[in-house]
């Protein structure tokens, strides 16, 4: 069973649900600190927030860059949370590592092999998102670009793939969870926010992910989703997130309990 | 909330999980009766089994036809189960109705509009599978071909869609569950067997489906899966099915309990 | 090389380009006769037009039924054209055969196996469209449901498949042409209209189809596209069609000439 | 109409077909020089060949790196050809620019925005491949990351997208050609090799691309395809390439002639 050291007092081991939450993008010190305090108060231990944002169009908000990284670090300091944020280029690994506990590879860079290789030579854990055009087999191969260089602290995230269906932003491929788990021993998380694209579908997709055997969730939450500078439609507000968090935790415990029960039943 | 009369002593209402199970195809009297007795003994109330089988190639086993229907009816008689089986052509509605309690429209006929229209004029409930190339919007429109003619006893089944991913047979689109439920008030089931294509992925997909809010499951089970004449790789044996059944029921109850808890919490 | 008898004075043999054109749906006697006269005047020999229309929603225009068939037949009589129109149900084969020279299976019925089987026992040629969710392998297997019953007069039509791309209605899969031709010896046509969804993309897709080696085209044309009762956006007007027709014919001749040249070159 | 300066004596302007050819990867000095001499002898002016290869698995041949770049440059020197080769990382732009006339962005980096931005600040033209999971709209937006920084010498290449079809490696989306041309004024090429995945389908896809209005082709050719270290199945040998080259050129001229004819016809 995997065991990933995030920082001195945070290990991911499969016994507890892994929960990563925070806004799509860091927008201001006030926004990220408010979010971190809320999350921390209900028990979430890892804060997400984009400082470098890969956006389809160059006209859209591209993130606050290093200023955003500093805000994230400040929010982490004030709450004791660990931080994960995206690194989009090999040249940014140094600066992102300075502020972030976990280095995220986004969906659009899932086959950026120079980036993966260089992350494989870092000490910090890597959160690898599945490319929305990639098969699970390719996704697992991408993780091997990292592990081959020595870094085996990898967190895999399924976040939806491109299909013909248009009622959600992407189609969450829950089968990826058991398929990945047959091939590598890393935690597999579900990101229901990017798959849903609409906040009312986030909870069903999150619970579906846990049902499929995921080790945790990565969810977008924002103090005022309607004013968010990116992904406004899919971010939860604090109340919605609180409900999702409680239900997910219960369901995760339920799932682990069920598994033990079944093992016992088969032995009898 | 939906309420569907299957037969005198079986109503589907959303309070209890809907469970449909049985072999891909009816292969012999012994096979279907053995399966029905097992299923009935653990509490499953609706038996599936194909007598008319839509197969990609004309060289493959096409089902036993009316002989298969009679075997299904006999299994139902001996166990008190209700029966659902596929009708592939408008001309077969009469004969299938004679033996079956629920009339199934398969994935490949999900936009066979003359068939849907004629089923809309029947008294028996219709189980409508989503076409693997159809959007949810098209799927819901297909149900309207039935309801428009007067028959509102419709059960919707998500069974996976065509995508580029090849590690599973189809990609189960769990988001279809909440999307459908916004548009029509019918029970929505998940068929994890056809999506998985491999039996070891059936359970994770089934639980994912319940997590997404599905009202039940439709699962393939066979006394000896390795000898099945069709879909051999994806059918569960009795032991595997028993485990899936127990876990699914617990999880379904858990989900319903959670929902009430949350409603209560928001009211306080 | 294939040879298909359409009627006494029309054989399809691969020497000449096969061109099928006409409105999406038969809407009135005036509309279909006007179209037929135009098409006939420039050399098109096969008229298309839907009398039974498979529409996503039951609220949309469903075609004129037998009245539409009679109008088609009348247009054919007045121009000497052959007619192709869709049959959506096994029960309609008789009536459609009475009026139509070629029996069309639409994309949504491409795996309607009872329909295919029964068409395999007819004397008239069958035009089989690829299901938009079907692989080429499935498409070829569908043709085998027809040929197995004795009818080998089959015309295969690629009309676009479902993908994540949204700038066209479907994604025309031009590679289907050489792939099909490796497996069966039937004429393979391209339907650029349904793939394009917008009339300005019809010509590039048509010429792409001929470039890929298609034996001909099936194109939607309407006297007043903007007033069409279905597929209004993708039908060409007479002038646009005339241009497409001339360019396609030239390109088809060019392609055949090139092939002979190359064969000669390799022999020298 | 676009006009792109490649080097002192090579401009791309839309009057002549653009033809880029060469092996998937540079494997040895002998291999690339032999290929360049052949290509140059029949009239091809731009040589392709990968020195940095993005491969799904880290176990596969990753290219010769700078040694490969030197071999390419040497082949170019000996033949007067221009060179295009892939740059996979912002840090490699300098070294690749030293040897290559055109900087290629591969399909997997089509949304690598830091790379696109930095290429936008280079003097050399950029060849941008469509991501196999990207819509045309995203593809065009990627080109805007380059042009926004000042570099408008962009060549767009459609090379197939991910779909459910498995008989070809990717599904060539020929409709991308007219769709892109409505949005930006850059040359649009078709890469039939990666879409086909099998060499016998390269020619039909190439001609389909020209039919759709493409300004040229990018094709893989290898002195001994069966011994190639990557993409062995899809590379053409010299004879096959020669035939493809002749047919493509004829067809391109034919297409341009047709367009003028039609313009004339409409004016009369």
* Three-state helix/strand/coil letters over chain D: CCCEEEECCEEECCCCCEEEEECCECCCHHHHHHHHHHHHHHCCCEEECECCCCCCCCCCCCCCCHHHHHHHHHHHHHHCCEEEEECCCHHHHHHHHHHCCEEEECHHHCCCHHHHHHHCCCCCCEEEECCCCCCHHHHHHHHHHHHCCCCCCEEEEECCECCCCCCCCCECCCCHHHHHHHHCCCCEEECHHHHHCCHHHHHHHHHHHHHCCCCEEEEEECCCHHHCCCCCCCCECHHHHHHHHHHHHHHHHHHHHHHHHHHHHHHC
Which residue in D63, D89, D161, D230 has the most chain A C-beta atoms within 10 A of its own C-beta, making it the best mutation to test that interface? D89
pLDDT attached to residue C267: 67
Q: Which residue numbers of D have CB closer than 8 Å to A's CBs?
A: 54-59, 88-92, 108-109, 111-115, 117, 131-134, 137-138, 141, 144-145, 148, 161-162
Give chain D positions within 8 Å (CB) of C195: 175
Across the interface, whether the CB atoms of C114 and B92 are under 8 A apart is answered: yes
Q: Which residues of chain A have pLDDT under 70?
A: 266-268
Dist. CA A29–CA A27, nearest whole Å? 7
DSSP 3-state of C229: coil
Q: Which helix (H) or strand (E) holds B142?
A: helix B136-147
Dist. CA C4–CA A158, nearest whole Å? 51
Nearest to C165 among D136, D178, D255 (CB): D136
Contacting partners of chain D (3+ CB pairs under 8 A)? A, B, C
Q: Please report the number of interchain residue pairs, chain B to chain D, with beta-carbon separation below 8 angstroms.
A: 6
Across the interface, whether the CB atoms of C166 and A166 are under 8 A apart is answered: yes
CA distances from A239 to A20, A22, A39, B266 (A): 16, 14, 11, 9
Provide the pairing of β-strand B82-86 with D82-86.
Answer: unpaired
Q: Does residue A25 contact residue A61 with C-beta atoms inside 8 Å? A: yes
Dist. CA B220–CA B202, nearest whole Å? 9
Across the interface, whether the CB atoms of C162 and A162 are under 8 A apart is answered: no
Number of H helices, E strands in chain B: 9, 10
**pLDDT category, C268, cuts 50, 70, 90?**
low
Report which of A240, A206, A200, A207 is spatially closest to residue A221, judged by C-alpha positions.
A240
Strand partners, D156: D128, D188
Dist. CA B135–CA A166, nearest whole Å? 7
The maximal CA–CA distance of chain C, rounded, in angstroms, is 63
Positive or negative: CA dihedral D83, D86, D91, D93: positive
- pLDDT tens digits along D171-192: 999 999 999 999 999 999 999 9
Residues of chain A with pLDDT > 70, as a percent, come to 99
pLDDT attached to residue D258: 82
Q: Please report the number of interchain residue pairs, chain A to chain B, with beta-carbon separation below 8 angstroms.
A: 149
pLDDT attached to residue A267: 67
**DSSP secondary structure string, A228-255?**
-SS-TTT-B-HHHHHHHHHHHHHHHHHH
Dist. CA B190–CA B203, nearest whole Å? 11
Nearest to B133 among C56, C131, C141 (CB): C131
Which residue in D160, D161, D164 has the most chain B C-beta atoms within 10 A of its own C-beta, making it the best mutation to test that interface? D164
**pLDDT category, C18, cuts 50, 70, 90?**
very high
Q: Which helix (H) or strand (E) holds C4?
A: strand C4-7
The maximal CA–CA distance of chain A, rounded, in angstroms, is 63
Q: Does residue A163 contact residue A204 with C-beta atoms inside 8 Å? A: no
**Chain C residue with the nearest C-alpha to that of D139:** C165
Dist. CA A38–CA A43, nearest whole Å? 9
Across the interface, whether the CB atoms of B212 and A205 are under 8 A apart is answered: yes
Contacting partners of chain A (3+ CB pairs under 8 A)? B, C, D
Give chain A positions within 8 Å (CB) of D162: 133, 162
Dist. CA D120–CA B90, nearest whole Å? 61
Dist. CA A62–CA B101, nearest whole Å? 58
pLDDT attached to residue B266: 67
**DSSP secondary structure string, chain A?**
---EEEETTEEE-SSS-EEEEE-SB---HHHHHHHHHHHHHHT--EEE-BSS---SSTTS----THHHHHHHHHHHHHHT-EEEEE--SGGGHHHHHHH-SEEEE-GGGTT-HHHHHHHTTSSS-EEEEPPTT--HHHHHHHHHHHHTTT---EEEEE--B--S--SSSSB--TTHHHHHHHH--S-EEE-HHHHH-SGGGHHHHHHHHHHTT-SEEEEEB-SSGGG-SS-TTT-B-HHHHHHHHHHHHHHHHHHHHHHHHHHHHHH-
Strand partners, A85: A103
Dist. CA A76–CA A86, nearest whole Å? 16
Dist. CA C170–CA C191, nearest whole Å? 11
Nearest to C258 among D137, D176, D250 (CB): D250
**Residue D245, min C-alpha distance to chain A (Å):** 32
DSSP letter at B130 equals: P
- pLDDT tens digits along C171-206: 999 999 999 999 999 999 999 999 999 999 999 999
Across the interface, whether the CB atoms of B175 and A171 are under 8 A apart is answered: yes
- Tokens representing A255 are 């799932």
Number of H helices, E strands in chain C: 9, 10
Q: CB neighbours (10 Å) of residue D15?
A: 10
* Class of residue A235 by CB neighbours under 10 A (exposed 0-12, middle 13-18, buried 19+): buried
Q: CB neighbours (10 Å) of residue D66?
A: 15
Q: Which residues of chain D have pLDDT under 70?
A: 266-268
pLDDT attached to residue D9: 86
Provide the pairing of β-strand D10-12 with D4-7.
Answer: antiparallel
Angle, helices B202-211 vs B238-267, to 10°: value is 20
Dist. CA C164–CA C146, nearest whole Å? 31
**Chain C residue with the nearest C-alpha to that of B87:** C114
Q: Does residue C82 contact residue C111 with C-beta atoms inside 8 Å? A: no
Residues of chain D with pLDDT > 90, as a percent, come to 93
Provide the pairing of β-strand C10-12 with C18-22.
Answer: unpaired
Dist. CA C219–CA C236, nearest whole Å? 8
Q: How many residues does chain D have?
A: 268
Q: What is the 3-state secondary structure (H, E, C) of B24-85?
A: CECCCHHHHHHHHHHHHHHCCCEEECECCCCCCCCCCCCCCCHHHHHHHHHHHHHHCCEEEE
**Chain B residue with the nearest C-alpha to that of D171:** B164
- Tokens representing A182 are 């047959």
- Tokens representing D232 are 């062995």
**Residue A207, min C-alpha distance to chain B (Å):** 5
Q: Does residue D89 contact residue A115 with C-beta atoms inside 8 Å? A: yes
Residues near B66 by beta carbon (within 8 Å), at least 6 away in sequence? B51, B95
**Residue C7, min C-alpha distance to chain B (Å):** 29
**DSSP secondary structure string, B220-235?**
EB-SSGGG-SS-TTT-
Dist. CA C170–CA B211, nearest whole Å? 32
CA distances from A120 to A154, B83, C49, C203, D65 (A): 9, 56, 61, 50, 20
- Residue with structure tokens 């699970």? A136
- Tokens representing A190 are 């579900």
Give chain A positions within 8 Å (CB) of D89: 90, 112, 114-115
Q: Does residue A85 contact residue A72 with C-beta atoms inside 8 Å? A: yes
DSSP 3-state of B104: strand
Positive or negative: CA dihedral A224, A230, A236, A241: negative
Residues near C157 by beta carbon (within 8 Å), at least 6 away in sequence? C127, C128, C129, C130, C188, C189, C190, C191, C218
Give chain B positions within 8 Å (CB) of A262: 243, 246-247
**Chain B residue with the nearest C-alpha to that of C109:** B112
Q: CB neighbours (10 Å) of residue A254?
A: 20
Q: CB neighbours (10 Å) of residue A90?
A: 21
| Average pLDDT per 10 consecutive residues for chain B, totaling 268 residues | 90 94 97 98 98 95 96 97 98 97 98 98 98 98 98 98 98 98 98 97 98 98 95 95 96 88 71
Mean pLDDT of chain A: 96
* Interface predicted TM-score (ipTM) over 0.85: yes
**Chain D residue with the nearest C-alpha to that of A170:** D133
Mean pLDDT of chain C: 96
Across the interface, whether the CB atoms of A207 and B168 are under 8 A apart is answered: no
Residues near A107 by beta carbon (within 8 Å), at least 6 away in sequence? A129, A130, A131, A132, A159, A194
Q: Which residue numbers of C have CB closer than 8 Å to B's CBs?
A: 54-59, 88-92, 108-109, 111-115, 117, 131-134, 137-138, 141, 144-145, 148, 161-162
């Amino acid at each position: 069973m995997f065991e990933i050291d995030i920082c001195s007092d945070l290990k991911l081991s499969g016994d507890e649900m892994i929960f990563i939450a925070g806004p799509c993008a860091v927008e201001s010190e006030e926004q990220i600190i408010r979010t971190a305090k809320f999350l921390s108060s209900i028990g979430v231990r890892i804060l997400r927030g984009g400082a470098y944002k890969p956006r389809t169009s160059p006209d859209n908000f591209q993130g606050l860059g290093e200023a955003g990284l500093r805000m994230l670090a400040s929010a982490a300091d004030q709450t004791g949370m660990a931080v994960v944020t995206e690194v989009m280029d090999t040249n940014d690994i140094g600066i992102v590592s300075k502020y972030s506990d976990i280095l995220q590879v986004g969906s659009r860079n899932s086959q950026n092999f120079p980036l993966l290789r260089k992350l494989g030579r870092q000490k910090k854990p890597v959160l690898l998102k599945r490319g929305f055009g990639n098969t699970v087999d390719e996704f697992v191969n991408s993780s091997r670009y990292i592990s081959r260089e020595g870094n085996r602290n990898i967190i895999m995230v399924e976040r939806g793939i491109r299909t013909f269906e248009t009622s959600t932003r992407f189609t969450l491929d829950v089968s990826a969870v058991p398929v990945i788990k047959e091939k590598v021993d890393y935690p597999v998380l579900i990101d229901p926010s990017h798959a849903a694209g609409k906040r009312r579908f986030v909870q069903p997709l999150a619970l579906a992910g846990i049902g499929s055997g995921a080790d945790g969730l990565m969810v977008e939450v924002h103090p005022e989703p309607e004013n968010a500078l990116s992904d406004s439609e899919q971010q939860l507000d604090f109340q919605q997130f609180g409900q999702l968090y409680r239900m997910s935790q219960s369901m995760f415990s339920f799932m682990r309990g069920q598994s033990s029960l079944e093992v016992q039943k088969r032995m009898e």
